[in-house]
Chains A and B, each alone.
Chain A
Amino acid sequence: MKRYILLRFMQLIPILFGITFVSFLLMYAAGSDAVIQKYSLTGQSVSQAVIEAERRELGLDRPMLLQYAAWLQGVLQGDMGRSFVTGADVFGTFLDKLPATLLLTLLSVLLTLAVSLPLGVLAALRQGSRGDFFIRLLSFFGSSMPNFFVALLLMYFLAIRAGLLPVISGGSTLSAAVLPTLTLAIAMSSRYTRQIRALVLEELSQGYVAGARARGVPFRQVLARSIMRAALPTLLTLLALSVGSLLGGTAIVESIFMWDGVGKMAVDAINARDYPVIEAYVLWMGIIYVAVNLVTDIACKFLDPRLGAPGTEGSR
């Protein structure tokens, strides 16, 4: 097991090299840099000499490969550099933004499970009923709406028309978290309800359910102990994927609600060509990607021993 985890972490390394290098290359190819971007955004006209001096100060006058090497050297020594825009320590900035994204991730996943588990199970048990139809209709609508539309609809109806909530947050408070959480949970619940319904239906048609009921096991018990347990690995896989994409910060939702998380940080950094911050974000996304895959693999094997011990044949 330890060997397996170690092996997977070794696989992480080429991916991280790959994505950080490619993002450096792309930003370089994009032709603008932090200094040019700063003056073109503020509309100041300065002499070429000032621009050259500032670029030299940030090391932007060096060849791209050297810039990447310097950045890499810093990272390997635990130094992610300083933001080109604010001058603040990049790792510190990132740590500042992370709690807001973590809070949003936690709240929206909890709400999603609280909504989709009962609805999905109910729809499966009452398959073909009016309730089933209604639940499926809702989840169909929910999954056909882009999240920025949901965000703006909620903002319009709940904040502007009804005045129930603040339109734009003053910080990462709970009342400010309501709208972004709702936005994310609506799309996720729609998907999850559908999946849970399908999973439960699949299990209901299995022989063991009929067998258990024939032996007189109460249905409630079959549902809780057998059906839900059988559905757990698939559900966990889905959940890990969602948590992964939420941890990367949802750029659009965070920007709309001015939620000061990792996603908004990325959008701001990209717009300002703030290389060190962009690279920190790219690294973070790569780590999440591999971690999510690893956690799901291990969790599924733990829950379903038939899949074989990790690292053995058939583990992929």
Chain B
Amino acid sequence: MKIFFIVFSKEIMSFMRSLALVSVVLYAFTVDIYIAGAGMQIKPRNVIIGYVDYSGGGLSKKILSHFHQPAFITPKPFLSRQKLSQAIFNKEVLVGFIFNSDFEKAYRKGQNTNLDVLIDATAASQSLTTLAYLQNIIFNFEKLKIPLKIKSHKLFNQNADNHSFMALTELLSVITLLIVILTAIVFVKEKEDGTWDIMLLMPVNPKMVILAKSTSQVLIVTVGVILSLGFVLFPAFNTPMNGSFWNFILLTLLYGFSSAGIGLFVAAVSKDVMQVAQFSIVIMMPLIFLSGAWTPIYAMNPIFQNLSLFSPLRYYIEGSESIFYRGTSFVDLLPYFGGVTLLGIVLYLYGFTKIGKLF
């Protein structure tokens, strides 16, 4: 046990002395997460709209008046259809409306009328949401008599704010990547310097050394997570914490060991720090894509849905979102804890036997 603490404190000290590693970890847990959370835009913002009005105003002006700041820049008039198409071609305008000359006439007579829309589908999400906005506005002018009213209640995230969601997802991905890379680097650096051979020859149980080394890295990342919650997620994005904070920390620690297991495996197969970076990306990317971080699990192909069961990150993300947004109690979190622990044990033991080889 004494050996554990000696190795553990030596690793923490080495980490603190490495300016590069400390700054990478601090960056990843603050700036990177802020950028991911604040920078992601799904709603339209500053969208440029152009229009050609052959109808002579009135209804067309009424419709256009709905498009205003901050989502849209005041619509820009164009003299002809050709000029508008040209502008869209040149990326000066994202969405173009064309009001035909009989647009208002037909509407007043109660007949069907047409509004032509040109959209730049290369900026798919922004232009398509603009289109949805337009449809909603048109809907108001249609004066349809349907005996149905929609009343929506948004649960867990009343403002439908996706910033805190994106920031949390980024945090969980950062945790994964950092634990894998840090753990792998700790071992590979010793391999590069040749100290790992000396370590294996010491009259101590190499398993204890491996355990102490990987635990130190898991702890460093856990501290980073707490910093990130305190300095970025809670103050900047108002991420709710509806469940127990300690449940989340416990889940993070357990998840940390399954990632450390992957790190041990990476360290066992790579010769230098360069290879660690390459291997980590190759191994981590499918793990992150299959976790539901970017695409919800139910939207995946059934084959991928089944594969995602083997990604510990899946259980970690679902579990964490339940804790933060849904405020799920510990008993209902057990499946997530179970998934993370089970995969963690398998991965960690595998990495453990890979690295601690002595003949």
The answer to whether A and B assemble together is no
